[in-house]
């Protein structure tokens, strides 16, 4: 994976544009990476539903839960499936709508200055090795492209919206993720 800094698109991943984005504030570059967990319907994996949610094409009649989120306009920069497959929905130059009401280190509106990465999963089911590997490669590519990012600027949705959000949840192995990211960053900077 490699980020084209000019366009903000990552090479080597599937691209599916979401309309749910807008311009970052003038002069603002991403300096935070937010890890999320998502499953649609809740607790189920696979299928096209995450793509449909982020492209405003989720059929409300396909599952009872979908009717409860009809009209929701959200997105993420990247999603990582259980298989490790990565899809990019929004250019890193732009603001994806992933964090909602949020605060990090006294700064509100984390969408303004963050990259959102959705992992297909739940708070309670372990994430897959392929997801940790893809997350590590994506974070290493982002840190290489944007020097203001680093593995130390990686947080969970629960960290920026405590009490409102719990993802990626206790099933997400932070030490494992950070060790994988450190190895991926080291490989990238060696070459």
- pLDDT tens readout for residues 73-83: 999 999 999 99
Q: What is the pLDDT of residues 12-45, one digit of tens each?
A: 999 999 999 999 999 999 999 999 999 999 999 9
Q: What is the pLDDT of residue 188?
A: 82
Distances (CA, A) of 59 to 21, 44, 55, 71, 154: 21, 16, 11, 10, 33
What pLDDT is recorded for position 111?
98
Strand pairing report for 103-104 and 94-96:
unpaired
For residues 118 and 177, is the Cβ–Cβ distance under 8 A?
no
Query: What are the beta bridge partners of residue 7?
Result: none
The pLDDT assigned to 178 comes to 97
How high is the mean pLDDT of the chain? 96
pLDDT for 53 equals: 98
Assign 3-state DSSP to the chain and report helix, strand, coil percentages, each to 5: 30, 20, 50
Q: What is the pLDDT of residue 190?
A: 78
CATH, residue 145? 3.40.80.10
Residue 189: pLDDT over 80:
no
Closest CA to 36 of 75, 3, 68: 75
Average of per-residue pLDDT across 144-157: 95
Segment 53-62 shows an average pLDDT of 97
Contacts of 124 (CB under 8 A, 6+ apart): 169, 170, 171
Range of the domain at 176: 2-190
Give catalytic residue positions: 118
Q: Is residue 158 predicted with pLDDT exceeding 70? A: yes
Count: domains in the chain: 1
Asked whether the beta carbons of 11 and 4 are under 8 A apart, the reply is: yes
For 69-127, the pLDDT digits (tens) are: 999 999 999 999 999 999 999 999 999 999 999 999 999 999 999 999 999 999 999 99
Q: Where does the pLDDT of residue 191 fall: very low under 50, low under 70, confident under 90, or very high at 90 and above?
A: low
Mean pLDDT of 160-182: 96
């Amino acid at each position: 994976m490699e980020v084209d800094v000019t366009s903000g698109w990552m090479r080597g991943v599937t691209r599916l544009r979401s309309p749910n984005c807008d311009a970052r504030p003038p002069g603002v570059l991403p300096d935070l990476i937010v890890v999320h967990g998502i499953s649609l319907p809740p607790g189920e994996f696979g299928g096209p539903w995450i793509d449909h949610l982020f492209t405003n094409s989720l059929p409300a009649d396909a599952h009872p839960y979908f009717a409860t989120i009809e009209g929701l306009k959200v997105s993420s920069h990247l999603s990582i499936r259980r298989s490790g497959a990565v899809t990019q929905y929004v250019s890193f130059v732009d603001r994806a709508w992933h964090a909602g009401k949020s605060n990090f280190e006294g700064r509100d509106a984390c969408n303004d200055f963050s990259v959102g990465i959705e992992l297909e999963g739940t708070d309670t089911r372990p994430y897959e090795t392929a997801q940790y590997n893809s997350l590590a490669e994506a974070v290493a590519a982002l840190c290489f492209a944007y020097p203001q990012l680093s593995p130390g600027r990686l947080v969970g949705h629960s960290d920026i919206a405590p009490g409102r959000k719990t993802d990626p949840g206790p099933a997400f192995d932070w030490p494992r993720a950070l060790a994988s990211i450190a190895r991926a960053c080291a490989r990238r900077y060696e070459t």
